[in-house]
Amino acid sequence: MSPYAQPIFIASLVTTIAAPILLGLIGLWRSRAAASSAPASPAGPWRWQRTLHSGLLYAFCFSLIFFIQELFLVVPKALTPGLQATLYHNNHNWEGDHPLAHLFQGTGALAILLTALGFVAWLRLRPPRTATWRLFAIWMAFHGFFQSLPQVVVGSVLPQNDVGMAFGYLQLADTSKFVAGLIALVVIAGIAIGFVAPLLALAQEPAEIATPGRRSGFIFRMATLPALLALPLIVAMRVPGSLGQVAIVPVAEFVIGLFWIQASAWCTTYRLREVVAPPRSSWGPLIAVLALLLIFQLVLRPGIAFF
């Protein structure tokens, strides 16, 4: 255990839990004050289909990103003489010994970080015109970031963590890893806040996001509630397994990412420039989730040997 474990733990609690909760409480107070002093026009009905649609895509993208991570943990080992790797639905394993095995424990996090950056480029350079593909790109980027960057924080103090093993191979000093962990925490908060505007862009009319309170409500219906509803689906894809393999990762990602997104919604101003075509049906995402569930449980759960 690193001598910086306690400072990293305290910094993690402050940046991922205490700070967003405080910001959210400030927003709640200001939203109520604004609503009582200047009543606005009606915000429109709650389109619950968008919540369902977003939740299904959240679950699908989580599992797809996790699969990409495990795949890129397995493939480099499979190509290394003396290592025999096996891919599972919620983990991977290998037999044999090679010095590069520890370095390759970091390739999964690197792969999904690069995947996230690719989807961010798609959103910025040529954003999809439909809500379905827009949400797919948003959640792929979200999960890519929030399944990779927290590993840097944990790996900065825990050598047994995947990224921690890679840090050990690179022989990074404790101070260097500590700095990397602190930087990752700051980046995590900044990236989470950056997802608010793309989510607000999914509004169907300006009135939905016209006030701080309405922006908070819109983000809750479009992101926070869908992510919460998606957790059982994500767990279903990952069972059986240890608590860490099944539940801790999706729950931790929800807290680390969605707390900031929800908390900063009220103070993120966004002018609706175009209306993204709303989803016509949730059958497509539902079929995709069920297909991925079957693949995880019937194909990946027994294990696929890469040797």
For 185-204, the pLDDT digits (tens) are 999 999 999 999 999 999 99
Res. 119 pLDDT band, cuts 50 70 90 = very high
65 within 8 A of 277, measured Cβ to Cβ: no
- Has residue 39 got a pLDDT over 60? no
Sorted by sequence, the CB contacts under 8 Å of residue 289 that are 6+ apart come out as 56, 59, 60, 233
Kindly state whether residue 101 falls inside one of the protein's structural domains: yes
pLDDT at res. 244: 78
- Has residue 47 got a pLDDT over 60? yes
Chain segment 145-189, per-residue pLDDT in tens: 999 999 999 999 999 999 999 999 999 999 999 999 999 999 999
The first and second tokens of residue 70, run together, are 């495990």
Domain total of the chain? 1
Count of CA atoms in the C-beta half-sphere (13 A) of 150: 21
Res. 43 pLDDT band, cuts 50 70 90 = low
Kindly state whether residue 41 falls inside one of the protein's structural domains: no
Kindly state whether residue 40 falls inside one of the protein's structural domains: no
Q: How many residues does the chain have?
A: 307
Kindly state whether residue 53 falls inside one of the protein's structural domains: yes
Judged by average pLDDT, the poorest of 41-45, 71-75, 242-246 is: 41-45
What is the C-alpha separation between 268 and 60, in angstroms, rounded? 27
What DSSP state is assigned to residue 42?
A: -
108: nearest Cα among 90, 124, 120: 90
116 within 8 A of 270, measured Cβ to Cβ: no
What DSSP state is assigned to residue 277?
A: B
Kindly state whether residue 21 falls inside one of the protein's structural domains: yes
What one-letter code names the amino acid at 135? Answer: L
φ/ψ bin of 123: left (φ > 0), alpha (ψ from -120 to 50), beta (otherwise): alpha
- Greatest mean pLDDT among 2-11, 37-46, 170-179 lies in 170-179
Q: How many degrees, rounded to 5, is the angle at CA 64 between CA 275 and CA 60?
A: 50
Res. 274 pLDDT band, cuts 50 70 90 = confident
Res. 4 pLDDT band, cuts 50 70 90 = confident
Average pLDDT, the chain: 93
Mean per-residue pLDDT, 215-219: 94
Domain boundaries, position 130: 5-35+46-306
Beta strands in the chain (DSSP E): 83-87, 92-96, 304-306
DSSP-derived secondary structure for 191-203? HHHHTHHHHHTT-
* Adjacency order of strands within the sheet including 83-87: 92-96, 83-87, 304-306
Kindly state whether residue 30 falls inside one of the protein's structural domains: yes
What is the C-alpha separation between 169 and 149, in angstroms, rounded? 19
Kindly state whether residue 204 falls inside one of the protein's structural domains: yes
